[in-house]
Amino acid sequence: MKKISINLNGETRYVHVEPNDVLLDVLRDKLGIKSPKSGCERGDCGACAVLLNGKSVRSCLVLAVEVDGQEITTIEGLSKDGLTPLQESFIEHNAFQCGFCAPGVTISATELLNKNPHPSREEIKEAIAGNLCRCTGYESIIEAIEKVAKK
Ligand code: FES
Ligand code: FES
C-alpha cells in the first residue's frame, strides 16, 4: 500500500492504494466519487473519463499511483457551484436517455470548450468520438454542445 494525495475537485484527499489499483476504482470505491462509470474497463467506451490536470483521460487505464500529487476533476467538481451552461444545455436538449455515458461526454465536451470555446460541429464530433452512447444517436448531444459553443 502507498499513501497518495490527489487534488480532487479542489480538495486535497489522501488515500492508500495498491500499486495495481486503477484510478476509476479508487475514485468510486475509496473516495466516493461515483460519476465516472465502469463500462468496458479497457479504454473503449469513455464512460470513466475524468480531467487529469485539465486533460481528459480514461480513468480505467490510469493507475492511481500515477496521479499522486496531481489534479483530478470529475462531474462532482464541475457542478460544485451549480450546473454549468453545458449541463444546462444537455438538460434543455434532452441530450441523454439512460445517462450512463453522460459524465464521460460532459468531461470530453468540457475539455473541448475550455480549449476552444467556439468549436465547429466537426470539432465537436471529433471531441466526443471516444464516448460511446447506446441510446441517443448523438444528435441531441451535439446540438447541446453546439448551443453553448455559439454563445
Ligand atoms: Fe474506461 Fe470504458 S470504462 S473507457
Ligand atoms: Fe444511454 Fe448515452 S444516454 S448510453
**Confidence at residue 61, expressed as pLDDT on a 0 to 100 scale:** 98
How far apart are the CA of 49 and the centre of ligand 1, in A?
Answer: 7
Sequence-separated (6 or more) residues with CB below 8 Å from residue 88: none
Which of 45, 101, 108, when mutated, tests ligand 1's pocket best, judged by the most ligand atoms within 8 Å of its CB?
45
61 lines ligand 2 (CB under 6 A): no
Check whether domain 2-74 has CATH 2.20.28.10, yes or no: no
The whole model's pTM is what? 0.96
Q: Where are the domains of the chain?
A: 2-74, 85-150
Copy the grid coordinates of residue 129: 468520438
Using alpha carbons, list the distances in angstroms from residue 57 to 43, 53, 75, 148: 9, 10, 14, 23
Fold agreement (2-74, 85-150): no
How far apart are the CA of 138 and the centre of ligand 2, in A?
Answer: 9
Copy the grid coordinates of residue 16: 492508500
**Confidence at residue 44, expressed as pLDDT on a 0 to 100 scale:** 97
Check whether domain 85-150 has CATH 1.20.120.1690, yes or no: no
Closest CA to 147 of 115, 109, 111: 109
**Confidence at residue 151, expressed as pLDDT on a 0 to 100 scale:** 83
| Locus of grid cell 466516493 | 32
50 lines ligand 2 (CB under 6 A): no
How far apart are the CA of 46 and the centre of ligand 1, in A?
Answer: 5
Q: Nearest 5°: phi and psi at 129?
A: -60, -25
Q: What is the mean pLDDT of each run of 10 residues along the chain (151 residues)?
A: 97 98 98 98 98 98 98 97 97 97 98 97 98 96 96 83
